[in-house]
Amino acid sequence: MLDIENVEASFGIPGGRLEELMNIFEFRLKDPGDTSLFKKGAGIQSTAILSSFLWVTEREVGNGQNVIWLIEEPEAFLHPKLNAVCRRLLNKLQEASTVVMTTHSLGFVPQDNKKTRGVVLDGVHSKVVSFRNYRESTDAIRRSIGVRFSDFYNTGLYNILVEGPGDKEYFEWVIRVLPPNVKRNYPHLLSPDAHYLDFGGVKFIGGFLMATWEYIREEVPAIVVLDGDFAGIKVRQDIQQYFGNKGIAFTENQDFVSVHRLMAIESLFPDDWIKSIREEHSGWFDEYSVDAAGDIETFKIKEGSKGSYARKVKLLAQDEVDRGEFGWAARWIVVLNVIEASLAAKSERLLGFRLAVNEVEADVDLDAEDEVDVDLDADVELEVGEDLI
């Protein structure tokens, strides 16, 4: 951790000989090692030099001079903690002199837009432009150097936001075991540029979206996957109400997908499996209910049992896969189709292109028996060309 408050400056006599002071002197810094300024890092050097500008200005002004400083990109080489220090130094310098500064750093743009000008290319010449507000001036820098709000959150080219790590593992596993003739329909999901971002719970993903979705939605293709249980419904309603008041869309099957009515992601496996697991391991269930016809109304797996449940359903699914049967994946494919279509449409809108079917090869090993036809209903066929936006 860099502690700028404890840095001490001093002058040294070169070679210990006083007569040398007439020709040259050393500027030394102790942080805590006492060495010449020019043996320090470039960021410390820049900060020290800015400090010396203030010292020089005070003396020049005291002699009746007007001082103008032309400073190019003061943010260069700075440790992040030094940014605030250098901004304070520049503010003091501006109080005592005229400072003309160029910068590519958002942190060094003045809050007062009257003090800011931009330089843009007009044909073969540069043109100076004004900004109406602070947002305009910082947006100009973001566009010119490619800084995106989403860059701070480890987003990829294609983004699937899920509630927790277990959801991410389910999606990656299901896609991996699907047969090639189904897998080929998911070029964006199978792209090495696809990122699953998990948030450790539905409340956390809700807070993240309220703070960031307004910006991320215009920068990168992204879709949010929410459980259909009451917690997921509550978060979805809160998000839609919040963004509705701001005139920002958060639309089903475009911006988000609910995995299953009134149930969590664990319900995407066949009901018969869930009933069988309930009979064998009732202690894994926090909640379970069926209707008069015996159909599952809702169920909830205990937090501490989700890993055990996941291992059990994957074993059951693997048995089916080994026999070349994939009917168990029908609900998963419905959700995957929505995610893929959303990413394809947003890719075209934001990036100017979409990946074609078969353009991306799956980075998985498939056994020969996986090359099978899958008997799926028509409503789960993917229409990659359908524009959802």
Of 35-49, 105-119, 153-167, give the range with the top mean pLDDT: 153-167
CA dist list (Å): 247 to 110, 188, 214, 241: 29, 29, 10, 10
DSSP string, 213-264: HHHHTTTS-EEEEE-SSHHHHHHHHHHHHHHHTTT----BTTTEEE-BTTB-
Indicate if the pLDDT at residue 47 is higher than 80.
Answer: no
pLDDT confidence tier of residue 378, bands split at 50, 70 and 90: very low
CB 363 within 8 A of CB 192: yes
Residue recorded with tokens 């100009």: 140
Mean pLDDT of 317-341: 97
Strand order in the sheet with 34-36: 8-12, 26-30, 34-36
Q: How far apart are the two ends of the chain, measured CA to CA in Å?
A: 46
Indicate if the pLDDT at residue 60 is higher than 50.
Answer: yes
pLDDT tens by residue, 234-253 = 999 999 999 999 999 999 99
Indicate if the pLDDT at residue 97 is higher than 80.
Answer: yes
What are the tokens at 379?
């409503």
Indicate if the pLDDT at residue 99 is higher than 60.
Answer: yes
What are the tokens at 113?
């837009």
Strands 222-226 and 256-258 turn out to be parallel
pLDDT confidence tier of residue 334, bands split at 50, 70 and 90: very high
What are the tokens at 29?
């810094």
Mean pLDDT of 92-106: 87
List Cβ neighbours of 174 (8 Å cut-off, separation of 6 or more): 317, 329, 332, 336
Q: Looking at residue 10, what is its pLDDT?
A: 52
Give dist(CA 136, CA 15) in Å, integer: 53
Give dist(CA 327, CA 377) in Å, integer: 10
- CATH assignment, 4-108: 3.40.50.300
CA dist list (Å): 304 to 90, 169, 174, 204: 54, 16, 22, 19
137 CA to centre of own chain:
23
- Give the Cα-Cα-Cα angle 280, 287, 337 (nearest 5 degrees): 90
Q: Looking at residue 344, what is its pLDDT?
A: 97
Give the number of other CB atoms < 10 A from CB of residue 20: 13
Reported as type and span, the H/E element at residue 68 is strand 68-72
Domain with CATH 3.40.50.300 in the chain: 4-108
Of 57-71, 88-102, 222-236, give the range with the top mean pLDDT: 222-236
Q: Helix (H, G, I), strand (E, B), or coil: what is residue 286?
A: strand
Give dist(CA 92, CA 51) in Å, integer: 10
Output the average pLDDT for the chain. 83
106 vs 346 pLDDT, higher one: 346
Q: Looking at residue 106, what is its pLDDT?
A: 76
Reported as type and span, the H/E element at residue 320 is helix 306-322
> Percent of the chain at pLDDT above 90?
52
Indicate if the pLDDT at residue 266 is higher than 50.
Answer: yes
383 vs 240 pLDDT, higher one: 240
pTM of the entire predicted model: 0.66
Residue recorded with tokens 């800011």: 116
Mean pLDDT of 294-311: 96
Q: Looking at residue 314, what is its pLDDT?
A: 97
Angle between helices 42-62 and 80-96 (to 10 degrees): 10
